[in-house]
Structure 1
């Protein structure tokens, strides 16, 4: 029984191109008590592999967090399978604003200790005592209230290219870093302000809202379905869009264009730009913002050192990175010392 991918990303991309069929990029999450995540993981892989589902899915005792791509023709079969699982019946599915048939090229279903790396001890507070979920219309109303503090629960490299107007955007590398910083910065307003939070699809706010209520914040709200669902509701209900720029996403697309505003700059020359790339040197792979001119000048690299490395024969490049893993430093982005332009 196959419980692994038997095609490379390149082979899968070729098959998708040859098929010529549209795919849907979808994300969802659900907190639930899963007794045996390993068995559940295998169950999902077997069924979703048959439906040609591709993506990155995390399963843990506390639930599931999924970002995936499914052929449009198989969507109803995929939805039927979700509904056959008691705690996933009618789960909210966030369908991407901008579709790309190549958003995911492998099916990865992994068992983790947690579906979100939040660094919290869930046993110390009631994770079910969450903030109030609000739709796009209510969210727009709340963030215009002078008694509201709007907080972006994402990381610096996400908010840099796009965020809601007047939002607090913590300068952090990880979600866990933001929790204590926000609590400290807003400690004087636990009772007299509305704490309104948002993230990409809602999962970070789901845990953060319960944490802040535990910490004494009285009026806690979270954007239902995150930015992805907000944009869809804005379009369907002709609401004012208060998000500026791009929404960062964790797949091959890297971002969805939400408004025409370009609020970021190239990390190499400072020109207005909001295109994320990874350094062409596989031993580096640094995630940063690069304009077309710098991409041509730097041969898609973040530094002259990396340019020198990719100019070497492939076997020499491979030998240089042997035994060395790419760490989370790839997300340093504008903080990296190799980049000339930093905010």
Structure 2
């Protein structure tokens, strides 16, 4: 019984090319009690592998978080399988605005302690007592209300390339960091302000809204389906788009363009740019923003040192990496000191200013 990938990314890419079929990029999540995550994981892998599903899926006792791609011809079979699982029947599927047949090149279904690393003790509050879900139309109304504080629940490298107008964008590296910072800065407005949150697909707000209600916030709202679902709704209903820039996504595409605005800058030269890239030096692989000119001059690397290493024969590169593991830069996501125009840390207490 195969419970793992037996093809490399390059081999899988060639199979997708040979198949000549369009694939749909999809994400979904569901909080639910899963008694045996390991058994559930195996069931998903066996079934989805047969349907040629590729992607990154996390399973835990608290539920499932999935980002994947499926051949368009297999979508109905995939949906039928989801509906056969009681807690996933009619689950909301966030279908990408821009599809890429190579968004994912492997099927990875992993058992984790949590489906989102939030660092919270779920036993200390009622995770089912969530905020009010709102659609795109209601969301647009709420964020024009002077008594609303709009908060982006994503990390700095996500909001750096795109966010909603007038949103507070905490300059944090992790979801967990933002939770206490936001609560502290809004502690005097738990009853008189509307706390409206959004994230990529809704999963972070699902937990955050329950956490903030537990902390005493009386008016808590969250954008149903996140940015992905918002964009689909404004396109279908002809609503005003309040999002500027690009939406960061966690697959090979790295982003979807929502508006023509370029609100970020190249981390190397400072020119307007919003394309994330991974340093070509496999021993670094830092995620950062690089314009086309710097990409050409720096050969897709984040520094001259990495460029020199990347020019070495592959065997010499492997010898240098042997026993070293990944550089810590891989986790910095645009904050490495050698990036001249990296996003600087700011004091979140100075950036969150509830409207008077």
1:228 maps to: 228
2:346 maps to: none
Counterparts of 1:311 and 1:241, CA distance in 2: 44
Counterparts of 1:154 and 1:53, CA distance in 2: 27
- Superposition deviation, residue 322 in structure 1: 1.6
Unmatched 5+ residue regions in structure 1?
Answer: none
1:271 maps to: 271
| Partners of 1:334 and 1:341 within 8 A in 2 | no
- Superposition deviation, residue 330 in structure 1: 2.2
| Partners of 1:275 and 1:289 within 8 A in 2 | yes
Counterparts of 2:182 and 2:200, CA distance in 1: 18
Unmatched 5+ residue regions in structure 2?
Answer: 344-356
1:256 pairs with 2:224 = no
2:321 maps to: 321
Counterparts of 2:9 and 2:168, CA distance in 1: 38
Counterparts of 1:322 and 1:147, CA distance in 2: 56
Shift in CA distance, 140/331, structure 1 to aligned 2, threshold 3 Å: farther
- Superposition deviation, residue 18 in structure 1: 1.3
Counterparts of 1:267 and 1:70, CA distance in 2: 34
2:341 maps to: 341
Counterparts of 1:166 and 1:329, CA distance in 2: 31
1:164 maps to: 164
1:15-26 to 2 correspondence within 5 Å? 15-26=15-26
1:300-315 to 2 correspondence within 5 Å? 300-315=300-315
1:141 maps to: 141
SS of 1:335's equivalent in the other structure is coil
| Partners of 2:283 and 2:327 within 8 A in 1 | no
SS of 1:66's equivalent in the other structure is strand
1:45 pairs with 2:35 = no
| Partners of 1:56 and 1:68 within 8 A in 2 | yes
Counterparts of 2:23 and 2:327, CA distance in 1: 31
- Superposition deviation, residue 20 in structure 1: 1.0
| Partners of 2:24 and 2:69 within 8 A in 1 | yes
60-69 or 308-317, larger mean C-alpha shift? 308-317
1:174 pairs with 2:152 = no
Counterparts of 1:284 and 1:188, CA distance in 2: 43
| Partners of 1:157 and 1:331 within 8 A in 2 | no
Q: Quote the RMSD (CA, aligned, Å).
A: 0.9
2:30 maps to: 30
Counterparts of 1:327 and 1:41, CA distance in 2: 30
2:350 maps to: none
Counterparts of 1:310 and 1:157, CA distance in 2: 25
2:191 maps to: 191
- Superposition deviation, residue 300 in structure 1: 0.5
SS of 2:78's equivalent in the other structure is helix
- Superposition deviation, residue 290 in structure 1: 0.3
Q: Deviations over 1:117-156 (max 9, x none)?
A: 0000000000000000000000000000000000000000
1:105 maps to: 105
1:237 pairs with 2:247 = no
Counterparts of 2:68 and 2:114, CA distance in 1: 18
- Superposition deviation, residue 188 in structure 1: 1.1
TM-score, normalised to structure 1, is 0.99
- Superposition deviation, residue 323 in structure 1: 2.2
Q: Deviations over 1:269-293 (max 9, x none)?
A: 0110000000000000000000110
| Partners of 2:286 and 2:334 within 8 A in 1 | no
Counterparts of 1:152 and 1:325, CA distance in 2: 33
- Superposition deviation, residue 324 in structure 1: 2.8
2:120 maps to: 120
- Superposition deviation, residue 327 in structure 1: 5.8
TM-score, normalised to structure 2, is 0.95
- Superposition deviation, residue 326 in structure 1: 2.5
| Partners of 1:289 and 1:333 within 8 A in 2 | no
Counterparts of 1:37 and 1:342, CA distance in 2: 39
Counterparts of 2:324 and 2:171, CA distance in 1: 28
